[in-house]
A and B are shown apart, each in its own frame.
Chain A
Amino acid sequence: MGRLFAVEIIYRGIFQKTLAKNVSRGIVLAAHQSGKPGISFGRYSDSPERNGIPAKSFAIVGSDQETLEQGMAKYEPTEVDITISVDDTLCKGVESWAWYGLQPVNKLLKKDGTLIVTSKETPDALVSMAHRKDYPYQLSIVKGTPSFSGLWVYKDDHTDVRVLGTIARILPDLFTLDALKKVIFAEWHDSVKVASAERAYERFDSVTVRPNQGNPETPYKFDLPKWHEMGEGIAIPCIPTGKQIEEPGTHVMGGYRPDRNPTFKKFSTRTMRPVVNFDTCIKCTLCWLQCPDTCFDVTPDGLYDANMQACCGCGVCEAVCPVPNCVTMVNEAAFRDNSSQWEAWKKDKTGYNTWLQEKIASRPERSHGFRYRGQYKEQVPEMLEIAKQG
């Protein structure tokens, strides 16, 4: 019985599609260089991809062809040696088209396996985002801003090879640094890229995450119905009409909260969320009107509360709000729950406003993909510097 290796790359659809593919192909090619057969594939039902919706790629390698067959003709391996999250906000859990419910970022990770995350956050911050496991695992951070590209334009900031260099350090039985360097040069003919991989290999560091560490919540899931429990004719019932909201304190009912799909929530798609200054809001209704997903609940006092169970972080509300600094998109990594901002403001306005200003000041906005000419010229040098210096 040989050894079967599995590595998964969890990424933001479209924005990190090429990055994920480069990593999974890099793994298979480096393993091949080290004499082992392998396959590389994306999780089939994640495609067609949509901006930001979590998706997965896999590299499966066997010590020999027969062992490799155990990992073939499958959509997802049953367990992995390494989980790579190329966007730190994915550590909160992912809900993708291929999955039902919220899948913890570390769900497939074996005991003592490693979660690699590209991030500028501290290990503690990332551990608090990820769901608890029954057994220990390792967390290794590849320092840097999560790398987002456009669909056709790849931002080559060396994230791919730095991740690969980290893998070579964790699992030399999968492929050696030497094999990796050969493959990187054969693919990209760029010795600086080879050097980045080597730096990452040398700079590797990890912490142990113990079983009592992490988000204690049970991620939501639901059972699939039996064939005779389903309605016939592939007909799907619609979402019912919504309900009023209760005002905290007075318990007055008013406003309107639309009912939403109970089995597909979308909030794990967001990499940033709007924070609202209710004191400056002029109730123009534009955020509520323009939100593509009807994420705003109308409150009993006529304000608009972005419902964090539903918001997928597109940023249209910030763009259309006419009042300066009333709606601000803030990096999702700054938050730990989906609680209502309006309720928090109603309960303690001063406290809320302090929290609001702190959130806006401390975190830069998350920008997706390719937005303007020259954007990568600005972003890539900073990342290459991190790749060089650490």
Chain B
Amino acid sequence: MAQMVETLEQHRKTDETALITGSEAIAVACKLADVDVITAYPIRPYDTVMQYVSKLVSHGEMDCEYIVAEGEHSQFEIVKHASAVGARVFCGSSGVGWMYAMEALTVTPALRIPMVAMVGNRALDDPGAFGTEHNDALAVRDLGWMLTWVDNAQEALDTALIAYRVAEDRRIFLPCAISCDGAFLTHSQALVNIPSREKVNEFLPRYNRADLLLHPDNPITVAPQANEDWVMEIRRQNYAAMERTTAVIKEAYADFERIFGRSYGNPFFEEYMTEDADIVLMGMGTLSIPMKVAIREMRKAGKKVGFVRLRWFRPFPAEALAKSLSRFKAVGVVDRDYSFGSPYMSGVVTTEVRTAMYAAPGPKIPVLGFICGLGGREVTLPDITRMTDSVYAAAAGKTQPLTQWVGLRE
């Protein structure tokens, strides 16, 4: 193990600026959060975070157990166990690597393990493409993971700190996966504010596994065999924990703003130019950037379009979102994912938004689904213009297909 160097770093009272990628920003957050155990297994584009962590460890800037496993299944199992014995842990993967860990990913929320993981969103094989797609992270959406998408390196760092705060809250004890779009966020360096250790220490208490700690002084056993007499009640407990996440997330963001001086407004979704919008587009991750550029252009041409960027996919902010979207004449949801055979063949986010609108007050508004940007294909201004025109048509009462592929060679 590397000799731990007592650096100024540990007691740093001032903020710093660094030119780093979203992945590197998360690695820095792990350092600030004094993570105890990190397991790694290389797969592009998540591997930028494991490389940066290994540099921090070898330079003595970070004191943690850094283990390169023989595969993602073991990688996630190791940190799950480490967390059960009281270690603050970090893990991550991409694409089919994340899928390789699926058994471990399934049992992690079931055992109430507050793991924080980074998913470097990557298209699922086959074909083997490195470009971004959201199906990898979305694959665990039913299991009890909190899921959030960030769109810039600063948000990645901040959200990682918030994730530890929320996940490790005893009322929650659920894992959180932070999704970063491959290439645009994992491999693009931007200027990031790195907060002082002092601020982080004020925001983030130490991990306390409390009554669930595996230790000889706490004689419990976990993960038993169970039959039909037990399973429903166990599941109902996870349901309750997930119900509590909304309030805890709000608390954490409020505290974050107070201590770090950065406000994210509504934690669950960001609204851009929606105050007077006729229609809105919705999406997750870095497609927000060409979206905002396009909306500014379209506004100049007199189109009153807005954009809603969903940050937290789990817990899904159904009521708040339905209330907000009910103000508009039509909604277009951009899915950087697919769900073959789903209702109307729409993407995952579209289907969830339609469900959220089911119980919305007022008349039913059109919710169109657009599949765009798969495999990392850029979401372009012409794409966005086409989607906007279609949503406007729906708002005017003209029938539009419920699912459209945009930016495809056809």
Contact = CB atoms under 8 A, between A and B. Distances in A.
B409 interface: yes
Interface string A214-229: 0000000000111110
A44 B19 contact: no
Contacts of B280: none
A232 to B, nearest CB: 12
Interface stretch (A10-18, A31-39, A108-116, A140-148): A31-39
Nearest to B45: A44
Interface in A210-244: 224-228, 234
Interface stretch (B64-72, B184-192, B200-208): B184-192
Contact of B131 (A28, A37, A44, A69): A44
A108 to B, nearest CB: 16
A48 B187 CA distance: 12
A72 B409 contact: no
A227 B409 contact: yes
A226 B409 contact: yes
A73 B287 contact: yes
Interface string B353-389: 0000000000000000000000010110000000000
Interface stretch (B136-144, B209-217, B233-241, B288-296): B288-296
B189 A28 contact: yes
Nearest to B182: A44
B289 A72 contact: yes
Contacts of B379: 73
B409 A225 contact: yes
Given A28-B19, A228-B410, A69 B378 contact: no
Contacts of A45: 130
Contacts of B19: 25, 28-29, 32, 40
Interface residues of B, number: 28
A75 interface: yes
Contact of B130 (A28, A44, A228): A44
Contacts of B289: 69, 72-73
A227 B183 CA distance: 24
Nearest to A76: B378
A70 interface: yes
B5 to A, nearest CB: 19
Contacts of A75: 183, 378
Interface in A223-277: 224-228, 234
A212 B189 CA distance: 39
A182 interface: no
13 contacts: A25-B19, A28-B191, A32-B17, A69-B293, A70-B293, A72-B188, A73-B184, A73-B287, A73-B289, A74-B378, A227-B409, A234-B126, A234-B127
Interface of A: 25, 28-29, 32, 37-42, 44-45, 47-48, 66, 69-70, 72-75, 224-228, 234
Interface of B: 17, 19, 44, 126-127, 130-131, 182-184, 187-191, 286-287, 289-290, 292-293, 296, 376, 378-379, 408-410
